[in-house]
Every structure is written in structure tokens, then in C-alpha cells.
Structure 1
Amino acid sequence: MTAFDALRYADTLLAGLGDQRPPSGGVRLHAPSDPGQDQAAHEALLVGVWSALARPGALATNFRLVESGRHVDRSRWVRSRVGDGEILHTTLVPAYLHSAVERGATLVISHLEALDDRVMLLCEALEYLLYARAWVNCYITAGESSAFDLHSDGHDTLILQLLGRKRWQVDSRTGARSPDLADDSLDRVLTPGMCLSVPRHTAHRVCGTGELTIHLTVGYEPLAELCEESGASRLALRPDRRVGASLRSALTGEVGPTTRIRWASRWPPHIATDDGHVTVTTMGRRIRLDRRLERPVVILGSGGAFTFDTLLAAAGLPAADLRALVAFGARNDFLICEG
């Protein structure tokens, strides 16, 4: 999954949930008319899951095994050693892990975005579109019972079903303090490609269906700046940066036809214009550019990823001017240029 695919897929998911960005509108479900439409994205995310299982590295504490509501002692299913340079090497114990999951245990990988770049790109795309801080947890089970009882979370979530089927029962009453679900609550079996929006403090119960099933839970919290007046401009003052490197373009100034370009900030920039200039506030800095560069800046600030040729076709600028802008952005770290 590239940054191109991640933003398109994230936008497809949010559009499928309705006109308003979640969590507006309560519990919502997106079932694509063509389940195979985003098969490549699902497969890329699954590769990220398998990669994390194969190489947990120093982040073994991101893994939890939950059986009958209790955490299984990590010493049973994780092996760790300290190598040269005090580097922690960790591997999972397949035999114990497989039998536990087969019995109905759930393997949880917290902050999967820290373990795989593909998942990180999707997480960043959703953050950019939702103006929120997000993280991704993964849940793997093969039983019919639930490792977690009826519960609610203190943050909003998006559920992405990747493999197999999983039954979700979600209360129709946001914030209800009840030992059971309301009669008109959502009760659906999610299949690969489906996406579910669950607002914070909404009770839900999740059960397997007796087959291997994997889903991602994207937890997110809108940033405090958006609760204030001029929230978007305040958000642009945050220094947070997306993952990605521009070393080649920054050092050599080379920008080729297939160079992939995207905005470096984790949050959208604030763009203002006057008679002769466009002023961009991003990552806590203000950058003053010629007014002629406004269109490519606005295009890049939308959060997408573009090849140089694609951007050139939309920007309405001479190639030399656009190439100079991209090289300047790479050197000054407000654009990420890859490839």
C-alpha cells in the first residue's frame, strides 16, 4: 500500500459511512456494493498483520493474548532475549499461540501502525481526513465465543473487517449505562470489506463465528484545537510530521516524472493569500510563496499523493517552476518526495 492507495481507501471508507464524517450520525455501517473493489488494500493490510506477527521485535509489549476475559501470561507465548548492544529480540511461540486462538482466545496487537508502514499510511490518511489523532489495533480470533464481555470504549472507533466473519452487536443508545443491549441495536455479521463506525461510550459485544477472523479497530480522538475558534489554523501550528523521507530530492534537487509527492505535515496546512503571495502555515512555520504557486499548494494540501507528472497536469504551471517548488519543499521539509 502506497500513500496514494491509503488516502483513496480512507476516503472511500468515510464516504461509504455517509455524507457526514464520523462519529456524526451514531452507529453506521458501510457494506461496499463490490466487495472486491478494494481487495488490494485489504491484502496489503493483511500483509502488515502477518509481518507484525513474524517480527514483533522490541515492541512485544504491543501484543496481548486474552482468553475468557483474562490476559494470558506473556511468558507462555513470547520468547525474548537481549542481544549485542542491549537490543531486545522477541519472537512469538507458534504452538501455544495457535492452540490458544483455536480454543477461542483473541490475539490483540496494539498500535499496529508502529509495526508496519502500510498500516501507518492508512492511519495517517484517516488522521488527515478526520482531523484527529488515530491508532490501529488488530484482533485475531478463530473461536465462536468472545474474549471480551459487553463493553464500551472512551474513544470513537472505525472497524475494518479484513478476513473471515465476525458478529457485532452495537447498542443503539450512545452512552447508555445498561447491562444489556437495546432491542433495536445493530446485530450484523461483518464480512471482508465492511466498515463499522462506533461512537465513543457505545456498548458493544463482538463474537467470532468459528473461523479465522481478523479485524482492525482504528481508534481516534479529535484534537483539542478543533474545539476552539479557528481550530484548523491552530492545528497547522502543530509540528507533527508524517512518516516519509525526501533525502534524494532534498540533497540533489532532482525531481523526476514519477517522483511521488505529498504534504509532510500530519495535519492539513492553513493557506492564506494576498495580492501577490500565498502564505502557508504548516508544522508550526509560516512559508511565504509566490501567488502563482497557490494551485499546486492547495492540491498538495488536500492530503493526496501525486506523481510529478500528475501534479504538473493539474497545477497549470511551467514544469521548471513546479520542479523548483517541489525541490524547495523537500529541502525545507514541508513536502515528502519519494521515488
Structure 2
Amino acid sequence: MTAFDAFRHADALLAGLGDRRPPAGGVRLHEPTDPDRDHAAREALLAGVWSALARPGALATNFRLVESGRPVDRSRWMRSRVGDGEILHTALVPAYLHNAVERGATLVISHLEALDDRVTLLREALEYLLCARAWVNCYITAGDSSAFDLHSDGHHTLILQLLGRKRWQVDSRTGARSTELADDSLDRVLTPGMCLSVPRDTAHRVSGTGELSIHLTVGYEPLAELDDASQTGRPAALRPDRRAGASLRSALTGDVGPSTRIRWAGRWPPHITTDDAHVTVTTMGRRIRLDRRLERPVVLLCGGGAFTFDSLLAAAGVPAADLRALVAFGARNDFLICEG
């Protein structure tokens, strides 16, 4: 999955929910009219899940195994040792996990984006479109019960069903933190490709269907709410956070080829102002002043998607030399990510 694919998939999911800011519409469900169209994106995300499960490393705290509502002691299903400069080495125990999941346990991978680049790209795309801080957890089950009873979360969530089926019952009283579900609550079995939006503090119950099921839960907190809560008043453009990715080749050599992949480096949308001679972009806590003739390519890049140099050139309506200079300047000054 490339940044192109991730942004297109994220945009399609939010469009399917009917709003670029889903919580405003309450509980929403997206059923793709063409389930095969996003097959490649789902397969890429699934590959990210399997890769994380096979990956050894020092990220033991990213995994939890929950059975009958209680966490299973990690020493039963994970091997750990300290070595090589006091680095913690961990590996999952497949046989124990197979049996546990088959008898009804849930394997949880927290912050999957920290373990796989494909999931990172999807998270970044959703963050940019939602203007929110987001993270991705993964839930793997195979039983017909649930490791978690009726509960609610203190953040908004998007549910992406990747494999198998899962039954979701979600209270119609958004934000009520109910102890029981209302009669008119949503009750649906999610199949691959479906996406569910659950606002924070909304009670829900999740249960298996007796088959292997994998879904991603994207938790997110809109930045405007975080700013209000902390009373900092800092808009997203003034936050220094950057997307993952490097521009070393273009920055060091100045090379920008037809297939160079270009995207905005800021984690959240920038703020743009113009005058007669300049376009000024506030991003990652700094202001970048550019020639007004570059406004069109700047606005296109600030949309959050990814372009090849040739596709950006076709859409921007500026001379190739000017665009190449902009991209090289952006790579050197780290407000553009240029790859390939």
C-alpha cells in the first residue's frame, strides 16, 4: 500500500459514512456497493496484521490476550529475553495463541501503526482528513462470544472489518454511556469492507460468529476538542508533528523524476494565506513564504493526498522548471516528502 492508496481508501471510507467528520452524524454504517473495489487495500492492511504477528522485537506491550474478560499472563504466550546491549527481545508463542483464540480469546494489537508502514499510511490519511489525532488497534477472534462485555470508549472510533464477520450492537443514544442497549439500537453483522462509526461514550457490544474475524479500530480525538480541553488555542497548523517518510534522495541530490511521489509533510492540514505577490503556508509550527505563481500546486499538495511529479504537473498548470524547483525546495526544507 502506497500513500496514494491509503489516502484514496481513507477518503472512500469517510465518504461512504456520509460525512468527512463522522461523529457529527452519530452512529453510521458504510456498506460498500462494490465489495471488490477496495479488496487490494483490505489485503494490504491484512498483510500488515500478519507481519506484526510474525515480527520479533521489543514491542511486547503492543500485544494483549484477553480471555473471559481477563488478560492472560503474558509469560504463557510470549517469550522474552534481555540481551545485545540490554535490549528486550520478544516473540509470540504460536501454539498457545492458536488454541487460545480458537477457544474464544481475543488477541489485541495496540498501536498497530507502530508495527507496520501500511497501517501508518492509513492512520496518517485519516488523521489529515479528520484533523484529528488517531491510532489503530487490531482485534483477532475466532469464537462466538466476546472478551469484552457492554462498554463505551472515551474517544470516537471507526471500525474497519478486514476478515470474517463480527456482530456489533451499538446504542442509538449517542454519548449516553448506557448500561443497557435501547430497543432501536443498531444490530448488524459486519462483513469485509464494511465500516462503522461509533461516537465516544456510546455503549456497544461486540461478539463473534464462530469464525476467524479480524477488524481494525481507529480511535481518534479531533484536534479542536483537544485544543479546547487544554486551552492552548493552538490550531493544527502550529503543531510541529510530521508524517512518516523521508526526502533524503531529493534533498541531497536535487533530483525530482517523473515518478517521484510527493506529499505534504505536515501531519495535519496547513493554513494558507495569499497577497498580491506571495502565498504563505503555516505548517508544522512555521511559516513558509512562496511566490504567488505556485499557489495552485501548493493548494493541491495541501489537500493531503499524494502525487507523482507528472500528475502534479498536469494538474498544477505551472512550468515544469518552476514545479521542479518547488519540490526540490520543499524536500530540502522538509515541508514536502519526496520518495521514489
Q: Please indicate the TM-score interval, normalised by the length of the shorter structure.
A: over 0.9
2:38 corresponds in structure 1 to 38
1:300 corresponds in structure 2 to 301
Which secondary structure does the structure 2 equivalent of 1:279 belong to?
strand
Which secondary structure does the structure 2 equivalent of 1:216 belong to?
strand
What is the CA–CA distance in structure 1 between the aligned matches of 2:88 and 2:234, rounded to whole Å? 41
Q: Deviations over 1:241-266 (max 9, x none)?
A: 00000000000100000000000000
Q: Return closer, same or farther for 1:233/1:290 CA change in 2, 3 Å cut-off.
A: farther
1:124 counterpart = 2:124: yes
Which secondary structure does the structure 1 equivalent of 2:37 belong to?
coil
2:244 corresponds in structure 1 to 243
The answer to whether the 8 Å contact 1:329/1:335 transfers is: yes
The answer to whether the 8 Å contact 1:225/1:234 transfers is: no
The amino acid that maps onto 1:79 is R
Segment drifting more, 191-200 vs 56-65: 56-65
Q: Deviations over 1:247-295 (max 9, x none)?
A: 0000010000000000000011111100111111111111111000000
1:180 counterpart = 2:180: yes
Structure 1 position 223, deviation (Å)? 1.1
Q: Deviations over 1:32-75 (max 9, x none)?
A: 01111100000000000000000141111110000000000000
Which secondary structure does the structure 2 equivalent of 1:323 belong to?
helix
The answer to whether the 8 Å contact 2:152/2:177 transfers is: no
**Number of residue equivalences:** 337
Which secondary structure does the structure 1 equivalent of 2:126 belong to?
helix
The amino acid that maps onto 1:287 is I
1:318 corresponds in structure 2 to 319
2:164 corresponds in structure 1 to 164
The amino acid that maps onto 2:124 is E
Q: Deviations over 1:78-135 (max 9, x none)?
A: 0011221222211100111000000000000000000000000000000000010000
Structure 1 position 225, deviation (Å)? 6.8
Point out where structure 2 has 5 or more consecutive residues left out of the alignment.
none
1:16 corresponds in structure 2 to 16
What is the CA–CA distance in structure 2 between the aligned matches of 1:90 and 1:178, rounded to whole Å? 39
Which secondary structure does the structure 2 equivalent of 1:99 belong to?
helix
2:260 corresponds in structure 1 to 259
Segment drifting more, 81-90 vs 149-158: 81-90
Alpha-carbon RMSD across the aligned residues, in angstroms, is 1.4
The answer to whether the 8 Å contact 1:225/1:232 transfers is: no
Q: Return closer, same or farther for 1:173/1:37 CA change in 2, 3 Å cut-off.
A: same
What is the CA–CA distance in structure 2 between the aligned matches of 1:50 and 1:109, rounded to whole Å? 11
The answer to whether the 8 Å contact 1:239/1:283 transfers is: yes
Point out where structure 1 has 5 or more consecutive residues left out of the alignment.
none
The answer to whether the 8 Å contact 1:225/1:235 transfers is: no
2:196 corresponds in structure 1 to 196
What is the CA–CA distance in structure 2 between the aligned matches of 1:61 and 1:219, rounded to whole Å? 18
Which secondary structure does the structure 1 equivalent of 2:25 belong to?
coil
The amino acid that maps onto 1:243 is A
What is the CA–CA distance in structure 2 between the aligned matches of 1:307 and 1:176, rounded to whole Å? 46
1:328 corresponds in structure 2 to 329
Summarize the alignment of residues 87-98 of structure 1 with structure 2, pairs less than 5 Å apart. 87-98=87-98
The answer to whether the 8 Å contact 1:161/1:216 transfers is: yes
The answer to whether the 8 Å contact 2:153/2:201 transfers is: yes
**TM-score normalised by length of structure 2:** 0.97
Runs ≥4 in structure 1, deviation > 4 angstroms?
225-228
Which secondary structure does the structure 2 equivalent of 1:162 belong to?
strand
1:285 corresponds in structure 2 to 286
Structure 1 position 150, deviation (Å)? 0.3
What is the CA–CA distance in structure 1 between the aligned matches of 2:226 and 2:3, rounded to whole Å? 25
The amino acid that maps onto 2:152 is S
The amino acid that maps onto 2:82 is V
2:73 corresponds in structure 1 to 73
Structure 1 position 146, deviation (Å)? 0.5
Which secondary structure does the structure 2 equivalent of 1:297 belong to?
helix
What is the CA–CA distance in structure 2 between the aligned matches of 1:218 and 1:292, rounded to whole Å? 39
1:221 counterpart = 2:221: yes
Q: Return closer, same or farther for 1:235/1:177 CA change in 2, 3 Å cut-off.
A: closer
